[in-house]
Chain A
Amino acid sequence: MIILFCCYGLIYMTLLLAVIFALHSLKQRGP
């Protein structure tokens, strides 16, 4: 169970971070 929740945490955190970094880099580049 611990491994399962670690998996969820790791994968969802990576996806969320990827989205946040992508939004941040878009903001830096401007229109």
Chain B
Amino acid sequence: MTFDRFLRWLLLTTKLSLFSALLLLPVSLIASLQSPSEALQGESVLYLYLHVPAAVTCFLLYSMMSVGAIGYLIWRLKAAYLFISSALLPCFFMACVTLGTGALWGECTWGTYWVWDARLTSFLFLSLFLALLNIAQQHPRLQQSHRGRQIVASLVLVGLVDVFFVHQSVLWFKTLHQPPSFSLTAPPSMAKEFLQPLFLSTISFSVTAVAVTSARLHQRVYETLPSRYKEAR
């Protein structure tokens, strides 16, 4: 049965990613804490290994939700919508971690927790948008009707405009937030000692977020199964 195969594949992926996360999290924690202090920032450079991985994971989950939204709007895949509703909370959590660690890091390096510059403001807007969308999609009238699910999926695609704006804000405007340290065309402007723990933390945060999202998706798919189907399994 195709659906049965999908559920088995989802369970296998979830288990694999959860065990990978269990392995990767302590490794990345040790690598981050063993990283050397930076000449100008001192120990506060350790915020880098929380702030950047959380931001990257937030954007990764948002990109995956956008693919899910397209899947639901074009092919009406119920699993694609269930993926959106599963990913919203981990994505919002990562946005909160990005904002929180960014503020604390900002206080150490800029001398202020917050400035209303384009990057920070647009990211705050994205976090609020994720919070509201997460609350709204739990409403039964949005969850149970095709029209409601269409609205949620469309809103996810509308939010992509802000994600693009967050990315471009440091290039288009004069901001206190630094421009990106990584690009596809130039080598990274960061020493190897900092790159390795950053890479490890980014991988571990992403794997953890995808694993938790996958587990939430499995739960939602399982809940939608008819009881006679569950008994037959």
Q: Which residues of A contact B (CB under 8 A)?
A: 1, 3-4, 7-8, 11-12, 14-16, 18-20, 22-23, 25-26, 29, 31
Q: Is the CB of A4 within 8 A of B44?
A: yes
Complex Cα gap A5–B134 (Å): 30
Complex interface residues of chain B between 175 and 233 (CB less than 8 A to chain A)? 205, 208, 211-212, 215-216, 218-219, 222, 233
Q: How far is the CB of B22 from chain A (nearest CB, A)?
A: 6
A4: chain B residues at CB < 8 Å are: 43-44, 46-47, 104
Complex Cα gap A13–B150 (Å): 36
**A8-B32, A25-B215 in contact; A15/B208 too (CB < 8 A)?**
yes
Q: How far is the CB of B58 from chain A (nearest CB, A)?
A: 13
- Size bracket of the B interface: 20 to 34
User: DSSP class of B's interface residues: helix, strand, loop or mixed?
Assistant: helix
Contact of B104 among A7, A15, A16 (CB under 8 A): A7
Q: Which residue of A lies closest to B20 (CB)?
A: A19
Q: Which residue of A lies closest to B51 (CB)?
A: A7
Complex Cα gap A8–B204 (Å): 14
Contact of B208 among A3, A8, A18, A26 (CB under 8 A): A18
Query: Which of B11-19, B116-124, B141-149, B152-160 faces chain A?
Result: B11-19
**A22-B18, A26-B14 in contact; A15/B25 too (CB < 8 A)?**
yes
